[in-house]
Amino acid sequence: MGSLNNLTEHLETYVDVSRSPTHHAESLKAIAASLEKGVLSLNQLVVEMDMYLTTTDDVVRARGILLLAEILNHLKSKPLDNAVVHSLIAFFTSKLVIWRSLRGALTGCLALIKRKGVAGVVTATDAEAVAKSMAQNVQVQSFALHDRKLCFELWECLVEQYPEAMINLGNLIVFATCEAIDGEKDPPCLMVAFHVVELLARLFPSPSGPVASEASDLFEFISCYFPLHYTHTKGDEASIPREDLSRGLSLAISSTPFFEPYAIPLLLEKLSSSLPVAKVDSLKCLKDCAVKYGVNRMKKHYEGLWSALKDALYSSPGRDLSFGLEFLTSPGFEMDEIHREAADLLQRLVKQDISFLGLVVDDIRVNMVFDTISRYSRYEEMPDTSKLEVLVVSQILSVSARASVDSCNIIFQTFFFRLMNTLGIVEETSTGDLVHKENSTVSTRLYHGGLHLCIELLTASKDLIPSSKESSSTPGSAQQSWSSIVNRFSVSLIGAFTSALQSSNDDCSADAYLGVKGLLAMGMFRGGSSPISRSEFEKILTTLTSIITAKSAKTVKWELALKALVCTGSFIDQYHESEKALSYMGIVVENLVSLVRSSQCSLPYPLILEATSEVCSTRPKYVEKMVEGFEEAFCSSFSDFYVNGNFKSIENCSHLLECVTNKLLPRVTEIDGLEKSLVHFAISMWNQIESSVVFSYDFNGREFVEAAMKTMGQIVGVALVDSQNSIIQKAYNVISSSTLPAMESIPLTFAALEGLQRDLSTRDELTLSLFASVIIGASPKASIPDVKPLIKLLMVSLLKGYIPAAQALGSMVNKLGTGSGGTCSLEEACDIIFYESFASGNDISSDDSSKSKCGSETLLSKICLGFYGSLDLQTRAITGLAWIGKGLLMRGDGRVNEIALVLMECLKSTSGSGNALHPSAMKHAADAFLILMSDSGECLNRKFHAVIRPLYKQRFFSITVPILESLIVNSQTPLSRTMLHVALAHIVSNVPVTVILDNTKKLLPVILEGLSVLSVDAVDKETLFSLLLVLSGTLTDIKGKQSVSDNAHRIIECLVKLTSYPHLMVVRETAIQCLATLLELPHGRIYPFRREVLQAVTKALDDPKRRVREEAIKCRQAW
Amino acid sequence: MVSGLINENPTVYERKERRVRTDSTNTDEFSVEPIDQLEIFDHIRDIRDPEHPYSLEQLKVLTEDSVEVDDGKSYVRVTFTPTVEHCSMATIIGLSVRVKLMRSLPPRYKIDIRVAPGSHATEAALNKQLNDKERVAAALENPNLVEMVDECLSPSFDDA
């Protein structure tokens, strides 16, 4: 009973018009849910609702009917008894008559009729009754939008689901539809209405059917919407986009051939209108009609269509052939939508009926073009009208040729001879016969227009070659007559294009462009049935390659030729043309690679490299070949350098390595087998170094060393672990056989170390740097032999100032111990680094430095603190320590804390034992924190397989910041204070913003102090800026709001000072922006500073930089 | 006051494409970018007409060429052309331009606002009024006038 009570309540709610729509929806949902669950049966509901359905109160009754309808709408998938459905539909149908309850009746009918596939569907007779009642009683256009839409949907459903029943109704339904559509203006309704028309047309296909007899009326009602134009463009976003509706209309118009006598004239008329939208729509619609109406009906309109099409093609203005690189593979000029649609339609018509082509072929304008062509030899000389003429005609012809093989044959037969004649390839003899002059390229007349037309035709025909599978099934020789024509002229054509290409000089791109494009078109015929023989194809390739190799500078021609070659290469790869691939390999790839190898040609080396890498990257096989070539080239130039001292070669080497790094390495994952060849390349680099025992010539080849390091590191980075191992082994062999290992046995007194200052030869430096980059790039799983001596070696070189060595050490400690079978654990490594390496040296030097035994501090840290050695040694040790610390920090090792402590010790004005530190050492120590916290591109990142523990920055932050803060408070000298602030700024600006936001309260005062301290010296401007960014981050966040508000006076004071910071524009800009954001604070809090801020900003209005001024204006306005 | 609009149907012109500064590549930290014609024009082009929802640029009251500026001498002169000769809104327009420039330019600038010769019935009086320091100051004391000026200067919705 409880549920029944509830029901009454829900019913009351729904029927009560004064309740809100959400209440209505809720009660509807509740009732539907209980029906769904079976708590309530439909019968029960109807009985319960009896009063609402039959009451004389119109409003309540309408609501009641609507409720029942909506409920049925919710129960679409619930099986219902057929009898129930029958009585319900009869009920709703009867209510269609009464306009007050129409909404409910329509919804109910629709809900019932939409039921399908579940038990209880409306029978055909019932559906017929609904339709009849609709047709007779419902005046669609007198209703509101929503009801109209329901009506149309109901029609749609009826016609779609009960075609037989509707056929019985015959004329009645067509009349009703006409009447319903008449005057409709809303897109959502029209969308459905157009679909109804389409369905009806499908329903009555017979020429004696009601649609055929009413075609004129029906068409009149829908055609008045063409072309669609929305008067209200904005505001109604839920509405249907114009494109969809226009598509719907087009489908309706093209739905039945009976519309043809009315539709085509209308469309042709609209096509001649000046409205671009109307043109596009008409063209689209004509395309649909051409398909649907069939050839016979279209035939009588051909004349009209052709002239309309011509108009459309000629009228779209502003087109010009552009000789740009990017148009080499496209038609070469911009097309607007009208133009595109017109071309589409033309192609469709020709494809459908070859007789349409007769109009094209006989057209006077088309035939006139040959005169135009032969009148101007250069494209630039043509007046705009002739340009347009040539472009449009060539497009008309190419589009028609593309339509089908037959049309292509006709076009070639009709026009190609004449074209050849114009170009001078065919001569007319006195008897009127055309004679093909085989060997007379001299007389070839290079009319640009002709060449363009020729290219367009060739490109069009090229697409007609069936792929190899199809051609075997239809080996028609007759249908390929165009192909034999092309074949006949191919030699002369290639000759013509080549001479165009060769005759071109650098300032005229048209010749070169047309030549290259023509050759490209000739080279891209597919498959075995290609009209171009292999030798001709090879000739094309040779021509293009010779352009590339002959030029000594990068010109338009050079770039065009290269692009064409790359296109050809990828075309070969795409269609698996094995024969052509061989030719390509033999002519293009090998030629270029041998150029790389010899490096003796007029072309600058970087250009050769560019060409080679571009061409070769079209196919994996070529890449392999190229890497081989590169390898050889590297070896030969390198040895050329160290034997003959040829500095040019070493420069070439750097270019080559750069090319490998930039062009090849990023593509390792795409190309199979590239990794292997690159590893081979790396190993042969080592081989070269090994064999070059002594450099007979010294060089300051910083560039080369850097390029080599980069390449080596990245190759190792991408290589698999096994390959890494082999590279490492190779590198180790080279290292151990070199003079370098001697260094570890050097008596490591500090005196000796300083004596070593300039001992490293360039070769050793190169070896060492390369080795370091191998270590940097190695993955943790790779095994490194003899770690201990290596660490010692790296330590020594670190102290000699080799930063790569420091980075390598950092990488080593970062990755040690995680791999299998490491020869040395992390503990041992750290022991060596921190204590052992100088044990021997320490013994010796202990005589003169008795202080060395103090405390538990490690040896390295003592160097850092300046107990031993010179200032240089100290700064190097600090930097080295930072890199090692970074390695440890990233893997989350605890020892980094000690390192941090040492570094902070360095920042104190006086170290523990009382001797003052040199400012430069302090500077290095402060910057060490940047090394520790920032992401490095050179080492210890994901690319180089670093072990990265999550949140390591946060951890370091929480450990170091409190210590730094207390140090700042206790700092004694201004210098140390500044340095501590620099260090803190490095940490704060590199930690994720969320961390800062959590600690705003504590950090804000320190940051502000830091900002004012750092603004003193121009050296710290970058640091200052990053710190300012952190501050601006806290200003905008809600979390920091409270503490920002508390510190408002200090923040404003600080920012005002920074608005006139002279050293960096962005600082000023950001400071002003920050001031503007501060306005979000409570008014009372900031009002006292108004004058101060305005003064500062007004001053900024006169800033030398425009961007600052703009910000100042905004900010001033805001304050 | 006159009821109805003074110019009921003004001609509306296309807004000029905003020129983007191409010298963003200028990385020299200490080079000076002087205040130029375009910069001043950018300040005032979006001021709204007091009686139409169009900007002064759209009504061709202001053009880029109507701005003369000499950064070295801290002098700027804006010449504007009212849409109709007897436009009583000319004072408001001039005042708006002046206020906008006062707010946007450093105080060292002397701002001179003029009506284009021959474009207004009371040209001389207008010029005098717009460049009289005291009268401008007095006008800006008047809350009604300030409200109108602020209305013109408030950013219109389609500029965002």
pLDDT tens readout for residues A655-673: 777 877 777 777 777 777 7
Q: What is the pLDDT of residues B23-71, one digit of tens each?
A: 544 556 677 777 888 888 888 888 888 777 778 888 888 888 888 888 8
Contact A1104 B29 (CB under 8 A): no
How far apart CA A807 and CA A645 sit, in angstroms, is 31
Q: In chain B, what residues touch A1097 (CB-CB under 8 Å)? A: none
How far apart CA A62 and CA A17 sit, in angstroms, is 11
Contact A115, A76 (CB under 8 A): yes
How many other CB atoms sit within 10 Å of the CB of residue A966? 10
Q: What is the pLDDT of residues A704-762, one digit of tens each?
A: 777 777 888 777 777 777 788 888 888 887 777 766 555 554 444 444 554 454 455 66
Q: Which residue of A has its CA nearest to B107?
A: A1098
How distant, in Å, are the alpha carbons of A347, A566, A963, B151 from that of A414? 18, 34, 91, 72
Q: In chain B, where are the structural domains located?
A: 34-153
How many other CB atoms sit within 10 Å of the CB of residue A632? 16
Nearest Cα of chain A lies from the Cα of B91 at a distance, in angstroms, of: 22
Chain A interface includes B25 (CB < 8 A): no
Burial of B65 (0-12, 13-18, 19+ CB in 10 A): exposed
Task: Please check the confidence at residue A896 and state whether its pLDDT lies above 80.
Answer: no
How many other CB atoms sit within 10 Å of the CB of residue A110? 21
Higher pLDDT, A783 or A198: A198
How far apart CA A782 and CA A401 sit, in angstroms, is 62
At residue A322, the pLDDT reads 63
Q: What is the 3-state secondary structure (H, E, C) of B76-142?
A: EEEEECCCCCCCCCHHHHHHHHHHHHHHHCCCCCEEEEEECCCCCCCHHHHHHHHHCHHHHHHHHHC
- End-to-end Cα distance, chain A: 68
Q: What percent of chain A has pLDDT over 90?
A: 0
Interface residues from chain A to B (CB-CB < 8 Å): 1063-1065, 1098-1099, 1101-1102, 1104-1106, 1109, 1113, 1116-1117
Contact B105 A1101 (CB under 8 A): yes
In this structure, what token pair is assigned to residue A1006?
């320190």
At residue A504, the pLDDT reads 65
Contact A657, A649 (CB under 8 A): no
Q: Which residue of A has its CA nearest to B108?
A: A1102
| Per-chain mean pLDDT for chain A | 75
At residue B91, the pLDDT reads 84
Q: What ipTM does the predicted assembly reach? A: 0.79
Contact B29 A1101 (CB under 8 A): no
Contact B80, B45 (CB under 8 A): no
Domain B34-153 indexed as CATH 3.40.47.10:
no
Burial of A495 (0-12, 13-18, 19+ CB in 10 A): buried
Q: How confident is the model at residue A859 (pLDDT cuts 50, 70, 90)?
A: low
Contact A817, A952 (CB under 8 A): no
Closest CA to A338 of A310, A307, A316: A316
Give the pLDDT mean for A977-1005: 81
Residue of A1102, A1113, A1116 with shortest CB distance to B108: A1102
Q: Which residues contact A755 (CB under 8 A, 6 or more apart)?
A: none
DSSP-assigned letter for residue B55: B
At residue B55, the pLDDT reads 80
Q: How confident is the model at residue A852 (pLDDT cuts 50, 70, 90)?
A: very low
How far apart CA A812 and CA A776 sit, in angstroms, is 8
Q: How confident is the model at residue A317 (pLDDT cuts 50, 70, 90)?
A: low
Which DSSP string corresponds to A588-651? IIHHHHHHHHH--SSS-HHHHHHHHHHHHTTSHHHHHHHHHHHHHHHHHHHHHHHHH--HHHHH
Instruction: Measure the CA dihedral A677/A683/A688/A692, to 10°.
Output: 180
Closest CA to A631 of A670, A584, A669, A664: A664
Contact A893, A826 (CB under 8 A): yes
- Phi first, then psi, for residue A427 (nearest 5°) are -115, 145
What is the torsional sign of CA A270, A272, A273, A276?
positive
At residue A453, the pLDDT reads 76
Q: In chain B, what residues touch A1109 (CB-CB under 8 Å)? A: 35, 39
In this structure, what token pair is assigned to residue A944?
């180089």
Most A CBs within 10 Å: which of B22, B30, B33, B152, as the mutation test of the A interface? B33
Q: In chain A, what residues touch B108 (CB-CB under 8 Å)? A: 1102
Contact B31 A1101 (CB under 8 A): no
How distant, in Å, are the alpha carbons of A402, A566, B31, B56, B97 from that of B52? 56, 59, 41, 10, 16
H-type alpha helices, A719-835: 721-737, 742-745, 750-755, 762-777, 787-799, 803-815, 826-834
State the amino acid at position B49 in one-letter form: D
Q: Which residue of B has its CA nearest to A1118?
A: B103
Question: How does strand B67-70 pair with strand B110-115?
Answer: unpaired
Give residue for tokens 């990385």. B27
Q: Give me the long-range contacts of A1049-1057 (CB less than 8 A, separation at least 24).
A: A1049/A1088, A1049/A1089, A1050/A1005, A1050/A1008, A1051/A1004, A1051/A1008, A1051/A1078, A1052/A1078, A1052/A1086, A1052/A1089, A1052/A1092, A1052/A1093, A1053/A1092, A1054/A1008, A1054/A1011, A1054/A1012, A1056/A1092, A1056/A1093, A1056/A1096, A1057/A1012, A1057/A1015
Instruction: Measure the CA dihedral A144/A145/A146/A149, to 10°.
Output: 120
Most A CBs within 10 Å: which of B20, B22, B35, B37, as the mutation test of the A interface? B35
Which run of H or E residues covers position A427? strand A426-428
How far apart CA A992 and CA A998 sit, in angstroms, is 11
Q: What is the pLDDT of residues A492-510, one digit of tens each?
A: 777 777 777 777 665 566 7
Residue of A1063, A1102, A1105 with shortest CB distance to B106: A1102
Q: How confident is the model at residue B5 (pLDDT cuts 50, 70, 90)?
A: low
Give residue for tokens 């107990």. A867
Task: Please check the confidence at residue B7 and state whether its pLDDT lies above 80.
Answer: no
Contact B33 A1106 (CB under 8 A): yes
Most confident of A888-897, A989-998, B104-113: B104-113
Which run of H or E residues covers position A436? strand A434-436
Higher pLDDT, A338 or A672: A338
How many other CB atoms sit within 10 Å of the CB of residue A742? 11
How far apart CA A148 and CA A155 sit, in angstroms, is 11
Q: How confident is the model at residue A846 (pLDDT cuts 50, 70, 90)?
A: very low
State the amino acid at position A304 in one-letter form: G
Q: In chain A, what residues touch B104 (CB-CB under 8 Å)? A: 1101, 1113, 1116
Residue of A1063, A1064, A1113 with shortest CB distance to B104: A1113
DSSP-assigned letter for residue A211: H
At residue A970, the pLDDT reads 79
Q: In chain A, what residues touch B103 (CB-CB under 8 Å)? A: 1113, 1116-1117
Please count the residue pairs, one from chain A and one from chain B, whose beta carbons lie less than 8 angstroms apart.
30
Give the pLDDT mean for A526-550: 75
B67-88 burial string, b = 16+ CB within 10 Å, else e? bebebeebebebbbbbbeeebe
Give the pLDDT mean for A763-780: 78
Give the pLDDT mean for A1014-1034: 81
In this structure, what token pair is assigned to residue A317?
């203005």
- What proportions of chain B, in percent to the nearest 5, are helix, strand and coil? 40, 10, 50
State the amino acid at position A670 in one-letter form: E
Q: What is the pLDDT of residues A1054-1103, one digit of tens each?
A: 888 888 887 888 888 888 888 888 888 888 888 888 888 888 888 888 87
How many other CB atoms sit within 10 Å of the CB of residue A20? 9
Whether pTM exceeds 0.80 = no
Task: Please check the confidence at residue A270 and state whether its pLDDT lies above 80.
Answer: yes
Mean pLDDT check: name the lowest of A218-222, A366-370, A430-434, A908-912.
A430-434
DSSP-assigned letter for residue A55: -
- Phi first, then psi, for residue B78 (nearest 5°) are -115, 125
Q: In chain A, what residues touch B22 (CB-CB under 8 Å)? A: none
Contact A1063 B29 (CB under 8 A): yes
Preceding amide of B117 cis, omega within 30: no
State the amino acid at position A1064 in one-letter form: L
How distant, in Å, are the alpha carbons of A449, A590, A663 from that of A597? 42, 10, 18
Q: What is the pLDDT of residues A794-829, one digit of tens each?
A: 777 777 777 777 788 788 777 776 544 445 666 667
Chain A interface includes B103 (CB < 8 A): yes
At residue A61, the pLDDT reads 85
How far apart CA A567 and CA A572 sit, in angstroms, is 9
Task: Please check the confidence at residue A463 and state whether its pLDDT lies above 50.
Answer: yes
Q: What is the pLDDT of residues A390-444, one digit of tens each?
A: 778 888 888 888 788 788 888 888 887 777 777 777 655 555 455 555 544 444 5
Closest CA to B77 of B51, B103, B40: B40
Contact B106 A1105 (CB under 8 A): no
Contact A887, A809 (CB under 8 A): yes
How far apart CA B152 and CA A791 sit, in angstroms, is 73
Q: What percent of chain A has pLDDT over 70?
A: 82
Task: Please check the confidence at residue A472 and state whether its pLDDT lies above 50.
Answer: no
Q: What is the pLDDT of residues A944-990, one digit of tens each?
A: 777 777 788 888 888 888 888 888 887 777 788 888 888 888 888 88
